[in-house]
Amino acid sequence: MKVAVVGATGLVGGEMLKVLEERNFPVTELIPVASEKSVGKEISFKGKAFKVRSMEEAIALRPAIAIFSAGGSTSLEWAPRFAAVGTTVIDNSSAWRMHADKKLVVPEVNAHVLTADDKIIANPNCSTIQMVVALQPLHEKYRVRRVVVSTYQSVTGTGKQAVDQLMNERNGREGAKVYPHPIDLNVLPHIDVFLDNGYTKEEMKMVNETKKIMGDDTIRVTATTVRIPVMGGHSEAVNVEFDQEFDLDQVRTLLENAPGVVVQDDVKAFKYPMPLNSHGRDEVFVGRLRRDESQPKTLNMWVVADNLRKGAATNAVQIAEYLMANNLLNTVAETAKAEV
């Protein structure tokens, strides 16, 4: 099982290596890939050193899986070239998410759509992933009609330079800035670029990706995405209107039994999800469960997850695990046999 990690030297790439190791994914040969300036450098995996390789070198090695976290333009250029030699690509960028012929997958929600013919699989946006994991068990029971979501997103979602900007500001140091305003002691209601409709690209990702992942174009979604000066994970205030009336105790039970969900909902003990406690975890944490008293059939909940893990790396590795468990991958040997 040759596995390439494209963008291995980045924040998410590093997290992917960590998750592959922690979950004991059966990597027989790791192929770390990065930009030309990083080729030849070494990264550590399971106590061993591996040299960073170029795209061309990685393709020549014909990995069974290539997990991409290197940006949309890189993915558009190189993912088809990996796929052409039989590699299954799991891409973390937005490049392929809304392509009609590409699957957009959160394993707890829609892994069943995957087949052996899917050679480029899209990993959804981090804020969408955690929301649909919490919504899916409720959608199956009550059918979601409308979602109003406001996000409170970690600077790690922007990358290492954003973390550096936050820490520089916090410590009174000068440095490069990736945000148009200070982020420390501040809140920026602006993630990604603004579109003609006044929403940001991040907000429209949540709208469109939710419908595609949950397989229901009738679900109405409106989002406001906000950057805050934290590093542990993303938080979301989610207001959900259902088609059917619900019982709050049953909602709690459904979530407690849902794959990948941990319910933290004891307000008397001040127990609720926080990014500080989600850091380094793979689960989606849900709490503050309560009725919206302004209209019927509507629930409020608070959803938190580590955006580098479940919002990116873990979700990608879980897709790989599903493909492997269901014999949907070309192994190195099978690929070589097919060539002969």
The CB density around residue 242, as the number of other CB atoms within 10 Å, is 19
pLDDT confidence of residue 338:
46
Count how many domains the chain has.
2
pLDDT confidence of residue 264:
98
44 with 162, same domain: the answer is no
171 with 27, same domain: the answer is no
201 pLDDT above the threshold of 60: yes
258 pLDDT above the threshold of 50: yes
- Asked if 304 and 7 count as a contact pair (C-beta separation under 8 A), the reply is no
131 with 268, same domain: the answer is yes
**pTM for this model (two decimals):** 0.94
pLDDT confidence of residue 330:
78
* Mean pLDDT, rounded, of the chain: 95
pLDDT confidence of residue 336:
43
Question: Which tokens sit at 75?
Answer: 């993915």
Closest CA to 195 of 176, 223, 175, 172: 223
334 pLDDT above the threshold of 50: no
Average pLDDT over residues 331-336: 48
178 with 260, same domain: the answer is yes
When computed from its CA atoms, the radius of gyration of the chain, rounded to whole angstroms, is 20
- Asked if 95 and 76 count as a contact pair (C-beta separation under 8 A), the reply is yes
206 with 298, same domain: the answer is yes
How crowded is the C-beta side of 339, counted as CA atoms within 13 Å? 11
pLDDT confidence of residue 331:
64
The answer as to whether 30 is a domain residue is yes
Which residue of the set 112, 126, 139, 181 is catalytic?
126
Higher confidence at residue 118 or residue 332? 118
Residue 214 vs residues 15, 19, 43, 99, 111: alpha-carbon distances, Å: 26, 25, 37, 16, 11
286 with 335, same domain: the answer is no
90 with 138, same domain: the answer is no
Average pLDDT over residues 2-28: 95
80 with 50, same domain: the answer is yes
19 with 82, same domain: the answer is yes
339 pLDDT above the threshold of 60: no
| DSSP structure string for 24-93 | T---SEEEEE--GGGTT-EEEETTEEEE-B-HHHHHHT--SEEEE-S-HHHHHHHHHHHHHTTPEEEE-S
Q: What are phi and psi of 244, to 5 degrees?
A: -115, 155
273 with 330, same domain: the answer is no
Question: Which tokens sit at 217?
Answer: 């174009």
87 pLDDT above the threshold of 70: yes
- Residue 126 catalytic? yes
The answer as to whether 115 is a domain residue is no
Which CATH number belongs to the domain containing residue 282 in this structure? 3.30.360.10
The answer as to whether 121 is a domain residue is no
pLDDT confidence of residue 213:
98
Range of the domain at 257: 127-307
268 with 318, same domain: the answer is no
Question: Which tokens sit at 241?
Answer: 């209107």
Which residue of the set 99, 112, 181, 234 is catalytic?
234
215 with 270, same domain: the answer is yes
The CB density around residue 49, as the number of other CB atoms within 10 Å, is 9
* Residue range 25-81, pLDDT digits in tens: 999 999 999 988 999 999 999 999 999 999 999 999 999 999 999 989 999 999 999
Share of the chain above pLDDT 90, in %: 94
- Cross-sheet strand order for the sheet of 144-153: 220-227, 144-153, 234-242, 298-305, 284-291, 261-263
